[in-house]
Amino acid sequence: MTQTIKRVRIATRKSALALWQAEFVKAQLEHFHDDVTVELVPMSTQGDIILDTPLAKIGGKGLFVKELEQAMLDGRADIAVHSMKDVPVEFPEGLALHTICEREDPRDAFVSNNFKSLDALPQGAIVGTSSLRRQCQIREARPDLDIRDLRGNVNTRLAKLDDGQYDAIILAAAGLIRLEMPERITAFIEPEVSLPANGQGAVGIECRIDDEVTKALLAPLEHTETRIRVNAERAMNRRLEGGCQVPIGAFALVNDDHVYLRGLVGAVDGSQMLRDDVTGPVADAEKLGIELAEKLLAQGADKILADVYRDA
Ligand SMILES: NCc1[nH]cc(CCC(=O)O)c1CC(=O)O
């Protein structure tokens, strides 16, 4: 009997990080199955094309994923590999997030050629980050710094630092680790100082809900602990109706059979920072996310988020 070779086409963005993630999933699929061929289908998304506008002002959720999703709906691709951080909390009809792979280091990284840490920066130092979540937390820790927008993929951002346009920049540690530049991480920023974005450091795989063949191939890539953590974090964002370009942090840890979830909503100018946390059994991960969102809303998160959306 001849074996049928199964084909999996991966829709991916063309940035170095997106290609790394797609190649990682390709290698994993080939590792677990000897009857599969995997192809990359690279494409550009709105988020890659509009590079000169701060992300918060472009608006629209899913800036980096829409084109990939259309390719799957059209049958031009079978799966899309995403940074969980960039994946909207809702999916188009017919598609779902089927797999969450093991998480890389979720922390933010401080990167500088001249200074050892955030604390070591002199007054007025220029720090680059386009994330409102990072901006408000850095501003709270160091109100004296000059925080400026920084767009572009990981290599572009590093080049702007190396040019001397900034004294330091803040990036996700996971991106630098995956692109084999861990030595560029000057210091890790602990969650107590900068609570990561929901899903930061985790890679997720989206596919058509009726594609049983592909779903079976993806099964061995699933990482249970990461799934629980990301489910709790995303549930909080979903209840807050926050996309990824909002000053919201959500970070879960799993210990034995318990989830510990911390959340943060900040005013961009640092004038108000709401923090809270919840803990409970892993089976209630999503409920805990909703519960935490409601605690934050009761503290006034709705007012802060309404201001962010109005000013954007
Ligand atoms: N928003 C862009 C983005 N999406 C995912 C990562 C890093 C890798 C990850 O979080 O999985 C980055 C870069 C960054 O935030 O520095």
Count of domains forming the chain: 3
Measured in Å, residue 295 CA sits from the centre of ligand 1 at 27
Q: Within a domain: residue 228?
A: no
Closest CA to 82 of 28, 22, 42: 22
Amino acid 60: pLDDT: 53
pLDDT tens digit sequence for 151-182: 888 999 999 999 999 999 999 999 999 999 99
| Binding pocket residue ranges, ligand 1, CB within 6 Å | 83, 85-86, 171-172, 174-175, 200-201
Nearest CA to ligand 1 atom 1: 86
Question: Which tokens hold the place of 59?
Answer: 């608006």
Q: Within a domain: residue 232?
A: no
Same-domain check for residues 11 and 96: yes
pLDDT tens digit sequence for 288-306: 999 999 999 999 999 988 8
pLDDT tens digit sequence for 12-35: 999 899 999 999 999 999 999 999
| Catalytic residue list contains 86 | yes
Q: How confident is the model at residue 116 (pLDDT cuts 50, 70, 90)?
A: very high
Q: Which residue has the higher pLDDT, 45 or 209?
A: 209
Q: Please give the model's pTM, rounded to 2 decimal places.
A: 0.91
Domain enclosing residue 80, as ranges: 6-101+202-222
Helices (H), the chain: 16-32, 46-49, 55-58, 66-73, 132-141, 154-162, 173-178, 212-218, 224-240, 285-299, 301-311
Choose one of 19, 20, 51, 85 to mutate for the ligand 1 pocket test, by most ligand atoms within 8 angstroms of C-beta.
85
Q: How confident is the model at residue 95 (pLDDT cuts 50, 70, 90)?
A: very high
Nearest CA to ligand 1 atom 9: 201
pLDDT tens digit sequence for 239-280: 998 655 679 999 999 999 999 999 999 987 778 999 999 999
CATH number of the domain residue 128 falls in: 3.40.190.10
Ligand 1 atom having least distance to the Cα of 174:
8
Q: Which residue has the higher pLDDT, 62 or 100?
A: 100
Quote the ipTM score.
0.93
Q: Within a domain: residue 287?
A: yes
Nearest CA to ligand 1 atom 13: 172
Ligand 1 atom having least distance to the Cα of 21:
11
Nearest CA to ligand 1 atom 8: 175
Question: What's the mean pLDDT in 231-244?
Answer: 86
Measured in Å, residue 303 CA sits from the centre of ligand 1 at 27
Same-domain check for residues 138 and 265: no
Q: Within a domain: residue 44?
A: yes
Amino acid 58: pLDDT: 47
Measured in Å, residue 15 CA sits from the centre of ligand 1 at 11
Same-domain check for residues 113 and 86: no
Nearest CA to ligand 1 atom 7: 175
Same-domain check for residues 210 and 74: yes
Same-domain check for residues 114 and 177: yes
Residues 6 or more apart whose Cβ sits within 8 Å of residue 3: 35
Ligand 1 atom having least distance to the Cα of 157:
16
